Structures are given as structure tokens and as C-alpha cells.
Amino acid sequence: MKKLLKWYRASKRSFPWRDTGDPFDVWISEIMLQQTRTQAVIGYFERFRNEIKDIEALSLIEDDRLMRLWEGLGYYSRARNLKRCAQVLMERYEGRLPEEQEALLSLPGIGPYTAGAILSIGYGRPYPAVDGNVLRVLARYFAIKENIRSDKVRKLMEETIASCYRDNKITDKQEIRDLTQAFMDLGAVVCIPNGKPNCEGCPLHQNCKAHIEGLSDVLPYRSKNKERKIVDRTLFIIRNGDTFLVSKRPNKGLLADLYEFPGVDERFDEKDVDRYLKEKGYDPLQIRKLPSSKHIFSHVEWHMDAYEIRISNWSLPLKENEMLSDRKDLQSLAIPSAFKTYIDYYGLRESE
């Protein structure tokens, strides 16, 4: 472990959440980093922390503002869980993340990995934090040929890290923090997932079984994800001048509680759009086809056609989930990146 620690301390990456000594930073950054590239998270983290100073502020933030701060990161249930968790922390733990694993695991949105990261990086306690990078490093080091997506392998790796702290009698808080992050960094920049790993630059390569046996480019074994469902979707961008109709999605399911341009899960041509709108009571002045777009979620893929529908007035009553928004209003709404093509097309978003 001494070689790994020496390597880390000489080459560790710099991030705004690293070495702050604040478990809140560890928590927020780890939630943001789920399913998101590290470099992409930096700007979001800085913006989030500039506005949300502590757990109390997170527990009180308005939902629409929270979604706006999260916009672009995707997987919006993570943000909702952050707020729910902050509220529980205010109610039960005086606005502080607990230092007990069982207590952390009882909180919304916190699983074994995030709990381990908070404990080891935030509090310097010897608990395992096994993410994809750590799994890959250990699977190669021990030449594990089983599927690393399995719970069995993950639990084995957690036990391995725990025994590493225990057998090496590592109790110094900073050493625990460094070792946890050393495994993560090693997997991110040396023992990489795609392409050939830089084995000669790895401080562990002399004892790495995959390297010794020539299996570094084969391991780890990871079962394939289920194929995503393809959904054809037609968007109706209904506008009167610079005022647009937007609707809020249901509070459960995909993109819950976020705003969107109305649409249907069918592929319409221009005649279909005209017929559909007239059935709804609209009298379009003009229907114009816009560029098509595609957005990939973890389990579904939207193939979107969009039509601009110009109308002369807003004579129809709005539904409960609908609202009219001008360009200024749209700056404050949380509109997911699935609709980025059309937000950019109309120049409806300004950077903060």
C-alpha cells in the first residue's frame, strides 16, 4: 500500500471537492459523479456549492430552483433524493451527516458506495468505497474472472478493502482518505476501462495477476446491459411570438416534475400534427418541421421529431400542468437536456 500512497500523493488529481475536509462536499460530489464524467461535474459542483452552502440550505431550496441547478446532469431523482436526505438530516441529525454506516444507509439516496465514500473520505474512517474504478483495479489485480456487475464480486471487493485497512493497521485519518482516493484515481487514469491500461505506470503492476498473466486487456468481465427501448416521440413547440407553451411532467417516472415541450409517444407527419392539434382545439397559423433529435437515457432512447406551431392567441384554457413562458421565464425553468436541441435552436437558455 505504501507504493500506492506514494504514487497518489505525487500525482493526485485536483478537484474542488477534494481535500476540503467537508463530508458535505464528499456527499454532493459523489452523487453528482454517478453516471457522469468527472470533468463534466466540476462546473456543476461549483455552481451548486456557490448557491447551496450547507445541508440546511439544501433542505429549504425550492424544487424548481434545485432542478435548474441540476439541469444537464441528468438522472434528476438524484437531486430530489439529495433534498429529501437533507430534510431528514435536519430533522434527525441536527443538519450533519452521521458517522455511522447503518445511519447513513438509512438515508434517501445513500447506498453502500456513497456511505463508504462519506465515511472514508469525509471522516477518515476505515470503510470501503468500491466504485467502478476500484472494482476494475481489484478485478485485474486479483485476476477475478467473474462478472463484476454481480453483488457477490462487489461484496468480495468491499471485504478486500476493509481487510486492507485492518491487516495493514491503517488508522490515520489522512492516510485512509488518501488510500480510498488512490484506488479511485488509479482506476480513472492508469487502470483505465477503455483501451490498453498503462501497466508500466501502475505502482501495483509487479504483483498484479492480470498483468503477470497477460490478461489486462481482457479483464474485468462485465455482462452486457439490457438493450434500451426505442421510443418515437413527436414534440409540439406551440408559440405565439416569444411566448411558448410548456408543461410539467408527472411527479413520478422519467424526468419527473421537470418541464418540457408537449408531445406524444408517436411519430407524426405534418398532416398528423395538424389533425391532432385541431382535435385539441387549436387553429394553427403555421406548422413547420424542425430538426430531429435523439436523446439516450439509461434504459430508453428517444427519437424525436419536432414541429413549430404558430398560433395567433391563447384562447384555450391551460391544463393544470401547463404554463405560458416567455424567454425570460424559460431561464428559470428546469428543462432537461433531452430538449437541448430545441432550447439551443431558439436561444432560450443563457449560461449562469
Helices and strands of the chain, counted as H and E runs: 15, 7
Annotation says 30 is catalytic: yes
Within 8 A by CB and 6+ apart from 33, the residues are: 41
Query: Before 336, cis peptide (omega within 30)?
Result: no
Cβ 317 vs Cβ 323: under 8 Å: no
Q: Where are the alpha helices (DSSP H) in the chain?
A: 2-11, 23-33, 38-51, 55-60, 63-70, 77-92, 101-105, 112-117, 132-141, 151-167, 173-189, 209-212, 270-279, 327-332, 340-346
Identify the DSSP state of 35. T
Q: Which residues pair with 324 in a beta bridge?
A: 245
Cβ 134 vs Cβ 95: under 8 Å: no
d(CA 34, CA 131): 9
Strand pairing of 286-296 and 300-310? antiparallel
d(CA 147, CA 221): 5
Query: Which three cell numbers mark 278?
Result: 385541431
Three-state secondary-structure class, residue 27: helix
Within 8 A by CB and 6+ apart from 333, the residues are: 64, 68, 246, 259, 325
d(CA 335, CA 260): 6
Helix (H) or strand (E) holding 259: strand 259-260
**Which is the catalytic residue, given 30, 71, 158, 308?**
30
Catalytic residue ranges: 30
